[in-house]
């Protein structure tokens, strides 16, 4: 087993940096279905570019490298204790090399262990089988899409869809609702794994197991195959689109599994995975631990650059460009500058911006800021950072889900004079009101595009609150050419509220029974 640890390290690096071929294929199809000139179309092009950049830089596709979850099948009698130790060593090494973000946080103290090891992390499931090889599969599922998982207990009443009973049609309604409630916040377009039955724990496990299926497989159970096809066709009519910008493609894959339940329980558990659907696997020689085979198509077989399609849409894009307003701004921003912005404008930012997420927002509520935030831009981002010599380098830096800061954001904008907040998925009514009263905007960056945005950060000017851990610290970043779309402006407009309203109306069309 002299190669086992190295093989696991390679598996982690491959999973984090090179999106598998079947996932890429689904994203390519989405690009074909979506009008390239729209906000969703442009976002899909950025996503495609980001996938290529991650492969080329051997750096994380998304800065949130998720909860490393391994499923290992071993021949009878193989030493699982040694394997577990070596998996942990490989995880720590990949973290030190910037291939995984420091993602293991003490739930009581907030302290980050710094190496992705701690109670409950990583997750390792062992199974024995009667084959001669070791099969190791890994999924890196980020926190933002994990937060959009949902579990239904049937029978129930669903907003927009009415009664969902204990039958295939009730399950159908739950799945459509699951896609609706995620909106763009789990970085749509997404994939879902569904578990029917089990208890609350095994139901979710079954849902997650579905995410290990290949995107292009077919369900062996005819009813479930039919339901998967129905969901793929109809969930895409909800009009949520990439990042919740509205559009034709909301769901990229749906896989459904079933297990027995207790007479009293009927759970439908849904695991939502963002487009950055990072899972891979290897088959290992049980004697040496060397890699014999990769278990999913590797990314390199499916390049994302698509010259032919790009040139055929060039005319379309040029036409849209004349309608789209692009505004270049340098920090600090003035009230006048931000009040002139409208939903739909693209802002290109230069100058210094500051990262800030959960820990910082909580802190700023009753403390001063270490830097002057008048006219400042706050970026909801927990980057992957590496110290090279004496200086820090940004290795991956996409946005995080903004809605978590909803209880604080409005107050903080007013207290410190912030003029722009960048994040993803949008914010709520309280923030929208503060934007209007104070004169500020919300800019939506493309979730998961961590390599694309990392390139915009030319220097790390400084850092505060490193004690919060790398993702939660306040990084002061010198920025050039950071592009994001105004989705909430200082005039009370919110694209997120609009898309939520229109997708709800669309959801209601699925109220009538389909599977009898
Ligand atoms: O933690 C992050 O950086 C992002 C998170 O996965 C999210 O989607 O909000
Ligand atoms: S930021 Fe988006 S792409 Fe990244 S892990 Fe979170 S949900 Fe996935």
Probe ligand 1: pick from 139, 401, 446, max atoms within 8 Å of CB? 401
Specify the ligand 2 atom closest to the Cα of 185.
7
Output the residue whose Cα is nearest ligand 2's atom 4.
Answer: 448
* Average pLDDT score over residue span 305-331: 67
Which atom belonging to ligand 2 lies closest to the Cα atom of 399? 1
- Where do runs of H (alpha helix) occur along 326-473? 335-339, 358-365, 406-416, 429-438, 450-454
- Residue 210 CB partners (closer than 8 Å, separation 6+): 193, 194, 195, 255, 256, 257, 271
Distance in angstroms (rounded) separating the CA atoms of residues 489 and 427:
11
Q: Give the ipTM of the model, two decimals please.
A: 0.99
Burial class (CB in 10 A: 0-12, 13-18, 19+), 120: exposed
- Kindly report the protein residue whose alpha carbon is nearest to atom 6 of ligand 1: 144
Average pLDDT of the chain to the nearest whole number: 96
The structure tokens listed for 141 are: 């599922």
Q: What is the pLDDT of residue 324?
A: 79
The tens digit of pLDDT for each residue in 256-279 reads 999 999 999 999 999 999 999 999
The residues, any chain, with a CB within 8 Å of residue 109's CB and separated by 6 or more, are none
pLDDT score, position 87: 98
In ligand 2, the atom with minimum distance to the C-alpha of 186 is 7
Q: Is the CB of 425 under 6 A from ligand 1?
A: no
- The CATH code that applies to domain 325-500 is 3.20.130.10
Considering just the CA atoms, what is the radius of gyration of the chain in Å? 23
pLDDT at 322 over 90: no
Q: Which of 141, 145, 192, 452 to mutate to test the pocket of ligand 2 (most atoms within 8 A of CB)?
A: 145
DSSP result, 267-319: EEEEEEE-S--EEEEEEE-TTT--EEEESS--GGGS----HHHHHHTHHHHHH
Question: Residue ranges per domain, the chain?
Answer: 1-142+281-324, 143-273, 325-500
Q: pTM to 2 decimals?
A: 0.96
309, pLDDT greater than 60: no
The answer to whether residue 487 scores a pLDDT higher than 90 is yes
Taking the CA of 60 as reference, the closest ligand is: 2
Q: Express each pLDDT in 21-62 by its tens digit.
A: 999 999 999 999 999 999 999 999 999 999 999 999 999 999
How much is the pLDDT for 312? 47
Ligand at minimal distance from the CA of 51 is 2
Q: What is the Cα–Cα distance from 292 to 330, expressed in whole angstroms?
A: 52
Provide the CA 347 distance to its chain's centre, in angstroms: 22
State the distance from the centre of ligand 2 to the C-alpha of 133, rounded, in angstroms: 33
CB burial of 266-278 (b: ≥16 within 10 Å; e: otherwise) equals: bbbbbbbbbbbbb
Q: Is the CB of 405 under 6 A from ligand 1?
A: no
Return the bridge partners of 284, or none.
134, 291
Region 91-106: what's the mean pLDDT? 98
- Write out the DSSP string of 61-103: SSS---EEEEEEEEETT--HHHHHHHHHHHHHHHHHTTSS---
């Amino acid at each position: 087993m002299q190669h086992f640890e190295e093989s696991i390290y390679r598996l982690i690096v491959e999973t984090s940096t090179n999106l598998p071929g079947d996932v890429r294929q689904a994203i390519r199809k989405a690009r074909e279905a979506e009008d390239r000139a729209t906000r969703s179309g442009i976002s899909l092009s950025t996503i495609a570019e980001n996938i290529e950049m991650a492969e080329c830089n051997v750096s994380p596709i998304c800065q949130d490298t998720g909860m490393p979850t391994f499923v290992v099948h071993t021949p009878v009698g193989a030493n699982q204790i040694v394997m577990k130790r070596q998996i942990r060593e490989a995880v720590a090494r990949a973290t030190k090399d910037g291939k995984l973000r420091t993602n293991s946080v003490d739930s009581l103290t907030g302290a980050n262990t710094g190496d992705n090891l701690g109670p409950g992390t990583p997750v390792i499931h062992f199974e024995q089988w009667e084959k001669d090889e070791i099969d190791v599969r890994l999924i890196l599922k980020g926190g933002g899409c994990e937060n959009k998982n949902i579990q239904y207990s049937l029978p129930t009443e669903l907003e927009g869809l009415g009664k969902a009973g204990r039958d295939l049609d009730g399950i159908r309604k739950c799945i459509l609702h699951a896609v609706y409630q995620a909106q763009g916040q789990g970085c749509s377009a997404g994939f879902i794994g569904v578990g029917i039955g089990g208890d609350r724990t095994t139901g979710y496990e079954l849902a997650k197991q579905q995410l290990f299926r290949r995107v292009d497989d077919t369900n062996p159970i005819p009813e479930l195959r039919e339901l998967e096809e129905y969901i793929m066709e109809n969930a895409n009519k909800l009009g949520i689109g990439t990042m919740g910008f509205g559009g034709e493609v909301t769901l990229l894959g749906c896989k459904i599994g079933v297990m027995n339940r207790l007479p009293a329980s009927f759970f439908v558990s849904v695991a939502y995975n963002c487009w950055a659907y990072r899972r891979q696997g290897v088959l290992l020689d049980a004697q040496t631990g060397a890699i014999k085979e990769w278990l999913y198509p590797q990314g390199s077989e499916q390049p994302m650059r698509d010259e032919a399609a790009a040139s055929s849409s060039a005319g379309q894009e040029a036409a849209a460009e004349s309608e789209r307003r692009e505004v270049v701004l340098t920090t600090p921003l003035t009230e006048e500058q931000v009040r002139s912005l409208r939903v739909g404008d693209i802002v290109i930012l230069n100058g210094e911006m500051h990262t800030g997420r959960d820990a910082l927002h909580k802190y700023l509520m009753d403390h001063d800021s270490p830097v002057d935030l008048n006219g400042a831009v706050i970026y909801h981002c927990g980057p992957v950072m590496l110290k090279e010599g004496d200086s820090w380098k940004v290795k991956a830096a996409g946005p995080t889900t903004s809605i978590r800061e909803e209880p604080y954001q409005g107050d903080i904008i007013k207290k410190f004079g912030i003029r722009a907040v960048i994040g993803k998925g949008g914010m709520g009514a309280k923030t929208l009101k503060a934007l209007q009263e104070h004169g500020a905007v919300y800019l939506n960056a493309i979730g998961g595009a961590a390599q694309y945005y990392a390139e915009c950060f030319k220097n790390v000017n400084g850092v505060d609150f490193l004690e919060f851990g790398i993702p939660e610290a306040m990084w002061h970043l010198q920025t050039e050419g950071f592009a994001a779309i105004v989705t909430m402006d200082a005039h009370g407009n919110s694209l997120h509220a609009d898309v939520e309203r229109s997708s709800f109306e669309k959801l209601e069309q699925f109220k009538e029974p389909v599977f009898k």
